[in-house]
Structures are given as C-alpha cells and as structure tokens.
Structure 1
C-alpha cells in the first residue's frame, strides 16, 4: 500500500461525509484533506474508470459515488490505485520464508475487504465524538 491508497481512502471518506447532495468539486475535497489537487485528480480519474466514482462537468460539476459508499470496499480502492495486493492464484501453499509474505497479503486483503468507505465515515465520526482529556 502506498500514499496513493491512503490519500484515495481519505478523499473518498471526505466525499462520503458530504452526503449525496450532488457532485462535490474536487478542489473542496483536496483542500479539506490537504491532498495536492493534481495528485487527487489522478486518483479520482482512476476511481472513475473503475466505476467507484462518477463525474459531472460544468458549473455544478464535481464527483460523486458511482455506488453507495457502503458497497465500496477499502480493498477495491487500494487495488484500483496500487494494483492487486494478492496476485491471482496465490495461496497459502508457499514454502520456506515465502509463506510469511503470502499469509500477510492474505490477511491484509481480508481486512481491507471487510471495511468500506461508509465504515471509515463512521469511524471518523466516533473519533470526533470521543471525549478529549487534557492534563
């Protein structure tokens, strides 16, 4: 996983937090999450081609989800941006030290497949509501 994946998940979480009131300008997402605009444009272009996002041009243009955020897994986002985590056909049958890496890829893929963008929105909301203690 790379900074691209991290930024894509942050940006999609921001987009989901803004609700479904129509397309959101990419500049607003970039500024809200401190992601360079040109970098985010590249990420969103790939996510649009993958069907995660849809775009609308014009004065009221921007990006919105192609599917509900509850259906977009973190694994899908990471693999769209960075490529497959687990190569096709990889199994836990590796020998020697290679099994550690195959198993790590499998566990990571399972974790990310079980989390959605909607889950990220919920987690951020819980963290924002958590009490802060200052000493």
Structure 2
C-alpha cells in the first residue's frame, strides 16, 4: 500500500502541476499522512527518512531566505519532502542527480522554446522517482547507507 499510495497521489499531483502549476495542500497533507501510516505498518519508514524530509525543508528555507528571487514553488518543496520520505536516504542522492538533469532540460525548453519562465516540476520529480526505482530494482544502483 505504501508504494501504491505514493504512485496514485503522485499521478494526481503531477497532473495538477502540469495543467495548473498548482500542488494542492490537501493532496500533499493526505499523501503525507497515508505514507506515514502505511510506511509504519509496512516498516518502510525509517527515522532517517523522516530526518531527511526535515533537512530538505530546512535547506529550502535557508535557500529561499538567502535568495528571495528564487523561482521554485512551495508545492515542489513539499513534494520533494515526500519523495525523501518515500525513497529514503540511500536512493535520494540518485534522485537529486536525475531530477536535476531532467529539470534543467525542462527549464531550458520552457524558457528558450516556449518562452515561459516556469515549468511544472512535480511531474519531472515523479519521473525521476520512477527511474530511481527501476535502477534500484535491476541492481544498477546499489549504494546502501
């Protein structure tokens, strides 16, 4: 159920972010609650995952305080916290690399070709999670902490 909850909510969040550039707080809150509940019942949530989610939040708070003109939405940050909770510490590093590459290409495309300043990031983060899980499943990425 832990994985199913993550994927179902991520699909909804990706759709709303892609269509409306909006990540609804009620979906984020419901998803986080269900991930915590099912994660504890299925023993897939570790204290390191919870700490990672708070470190992500702290990092973005500091970055946003230092650079007030940063173009990143609050929904993207909240979703990234849930990704950290879902993936855990060992896979999150690979997620950051993959999502960074995908988001860079998406932003370049949106700014240079579409002439828009913003791009939906939640769908790209969701694709990155899927790629990370495939790499872990097929033992291509096997780093364990």
TM over 0.5: no
TM-score, structure 1 length as denominator? 0.31
Greater share of strand residues, 1 or 2?
1
Between Structure 1 and Structure 2, whose CA radius of gyration is higher?
1
Which structure's residues are more often helix, by fraction? 2
